[in-house]
Homo-oligomer: A and B are copies of this chain.
Amino acid sequence: MVRGSGGVLGAMANRASGAASVTSADVARLAGVSRATVSFVLNDTQGHRVSEQTRERVRSAARQLGYVPNAAARSLRAGRSNLILMPASVSAAGRLVSDWVDELHSALEQRGYVTVLHAGRFADPVDAARAWAELRPAAVLALDGDRFTTEASGVLKRAGVRAQLVFASRPIAGMYTIAFDHAEIGAAAAEHLVARGRTRIGVVMPPERGLDTFARPRLAGAQRVAAQHPVTVSPVELAYSQEAASGLAARWSALGLDAVFAFNDEYAALLMHAFRGAGLSVPDDVAVVGADDLVLAALQQPALSSVRLELPSAERIAGVLDELVVEGSADPVAGMRAHVVHRASS
């Protein structure tokens, strides 16, 4: 039962013959004034007198032609852009973060910035920085700041990028850094499991592209906690598919683990389902902890314990970014906090 014609609605040439862009010179010509006057009127430039009658002629001409200023030319002339670049993959970070990013977009828009996501895949951070630098953004805001280097920062700075704000586990020279240590997430999960009496903890490591940036420090955080207690922490690879999950569940008992931190809630849900299929009981045979505390977590059976992240408010971050761009520096901001929401799975 396949619905949808799969058909084609329309394919048409949409390039007019002389489809050149409308410029302010066109507006000036139509309004019968100079280009400078057009600029003064449309930008409401202070300190320049233009009669109301002329203003209206200009505005009407602009409307009639559908004039929109060229951001490239404007930034070129101004020497700075109002672009804020967020290098980020859309989906990798999970729903919690994407919602936060949406909020940030709105907050920055209100301050006159145009936020832009760019999800290039670069092995070398310096290559990445070069690609971003070409756009000459006013600021760069990176969520996975731990992939950054001082050299990459230098590339951006030399390209005239005025502010660099990264979320990272350690300060990076030349960048305004906000504490966002994924190790804390792993540590919170591990501490919780230790407090619940578990001693042999597995930590899920997803092999999916881009996730190791988050997974490795989470493992390290758990290991740091393990070093202070008589418990073991070991990495366990798990791809996001049912086959991988049931495979892992089948050989679970051989691993000799009594708890698992499952990277995030989605992997946790996947794994709990596989455990059930393999006849393992949660939390009796194995305790499970997720992360992100999505709605999904509370829906699991048993309900899933999860590490909840408290991100700084998007509004606050937008303010900092603005201050960095305008003044060159900004007050410190409290970073991320992580704590476990305890439910039946652990």
Interface residues in chain A, defined as those with a beta carbon under 8 Å from any beta carbon in chain B: 1-16, 19-22, 65-73, 75-76, 79, 81, 89-92, 95, 98-99, 101-102, 105-106, 109, 114-121, 130-131, 133-136, 153-155, 157-160, 162-164, 168, 170-172, 174-179, 181, 184, 187-188, 191-192, 195, 240-242, 266, 269-270, 273, 295-296, 298-299, 301, 324, 328-340
What B residues does A65 contact at CB under 8 A? Answer: 158
- The residue on B at minimum CB distance from A109 is B120
A299 touches which of B121, B163, B273 (Cβ 8 Å): B273
Q: How many copies does the complex hold?
A: 2
Contact status B115-A102, CB under 8 Å: no
What B residues does A131 contact at CB under 8 A? Answer: 114
- A sample of 8 inter-chain contacts (CB < 8 A) reads A4-B188, A8-B334, A21-B136, A68-B133, A69-B134, A90-B117, A241-B295, A301-B301
What B residues does A330 contact at CB under 8 A? Answer: 11
- The residue on B at minimum CB distance from A155 is B66
Contact status B81-A102, CB under 8 Å: no
Contact status B11-A332, CB under 8 Å: yes
Question: A15 and B90 in contact (CB under 8 A), knowing A4-B335, A135-B114, A136-B70?
Answer: no
Top 7 nearest A-B pairs by Cβ distance? Answer: A21-B160, A10-B171, A8-B332, A91-B98, A15-B328, A117-B117, A72-B72
A14 touches which of B176, B191, B298 (Cβ 8 Å): B176
A3 touches which of B20, B81, B164, B339 (Cβ 8 Å): B339
A103 → chain B, closest Cβ, in Å?
10
- The residue on B at minimum CB distance from A133 is B68
A116 touches which of B70, B118, B172, B301 (Cβ 8 Å): B118
A335 touches which of B9, B102, B172, B179 (Cβ 8 Å): B9
What B residues does A109 contact at CB under 8 A? Answer: 120-121
Contact status A13-B328, CB under 8 Å: yes
A295 touches which of B6, B8, B79, B240 (Cβ 8 Å): B240
Additional 4 contacts, C-beta under 8 A, given A4-B337, A116-B116? A1-B188, A3-B191, A12-B176, A71-B134
- The residue on B at minimum CB distance from A69 is B134
A184 touches which of B3, B90, B133, B188 (Cβ 8 Å): B3
